[in-house]
Structure 1
Amino acid sequence: MQTSQYTESFPFLSFCFNTRRQQILIVLSENPQYGLAIKGELEDYYGNEVNHGRLYPNLDELVERDLIAKSELDKCTNQYELSNDGYDLLLGELNWRLSKVVTGEERTEDITQLLDNAT
């Protein structure tokens, strides 16, 4: 089996980069946020409650892997920010997904329209 460029750059991906962690990185790509704000964005996306007991271990794992940085906002609140490695990982993931989805002119136009709408 061929090893991807991103698996070589981030060898731990095979066991730790699940969908929830990826979505946390996506939320943080917009701007730094505190834990409850991240939770709120994920709940808006899913339409149901996100369990604290699952969110914070995922945040801790992303901090441990240097994909996000954690700082103290005040004595009770931590803020999380996407790191350069986290951003590179998101770009790599997006590149891989687009390489699989964009298979012709019509799909290229669809993606171009999505990008135009996002900016």
Structure 2
Amino acid sequence: MFELTGFQRDLLYVIAGTERPSGQEIKEIISRDVGEVNHGRLYPNLDALVEQGYVNKGQHDRRTNFYEISESGKTAIRERRDWENQHVDLSE
């Protein structure tokens, strides 16, 4: 997951925490949390996550795609969180 940008990691976490969100739903969630995101930034990054195997893409209908975390994406998040926990101790 080290090859991902921070924005791509954020998208991955949003997708992992949402049941088959559409691109528009992802845009609304991420915009609410980090500020307005335009289509020109969102969709190329979603496509990169799909191409890298972290996210699966399907169709709700002819006009609306959905995204879901893949097994590789789940593994990457687990490994990232384990790595973060090795380097950050917030117990104090």
Instruction: Give TM-score scaled by structure 2 length.
Output: 0.91
Instruction: Give TM-score scaled by structure 1 length.
Output: 0.71
1:73-112 residue CA offsets vs partner (Å, 9 max, x unmatched) = 111100000000001101111111111111xxxx236xxx
Which amino acid in structure 1 is aligned with residue 59 of structure 2?
E
After the TM superposition, list the runs of 4 or more consecutive aligned residues in structure 1 that deviate by more than 4 angstroms: none
Distance in 2 (alpha carbons) for counterparts of 1:98 and 1:39: 29
Residue in 1 that maps onto 2:25: 37
Which amino acid in structure 2 is aligned with residue 90 of structure 1?
I
Give the CA RMSD over aligned residues: 1.4
Q: 5+ unaligned residues in a row in structure 2: which ranges?
A: none
Greater RCO (Cα-Cα under 8 Å, separation 6 or more): 2
- Is 1:50 paired with 2:6? no
Which of 45, 57, 61 is the matching residue for 1:70?
57
Point out the structure with the larger helix share.
1
SS of the counterpart of 1:21?
helix
Distance in 1 (alpha carbons) for counterparts of 2:15 and 2:61: 19
SS of the counterpart of 1:66?
coil
1:2-31 residue CA offsets vs partner (Å, 9 max, x unmatched) = xxxxxxxx7xx43xx001110111001122
Q: 5+ unaligned residues in a row in structure 1: which ranges?
A: 1-9, 110-119
- Is 1:108 paired with 2:58? no
Which protein is bigger by CA-based radius of gyration? Answer: 1
Distance in 2 (alpha carbons) for counterparts of 1:81 and 1:40: 16
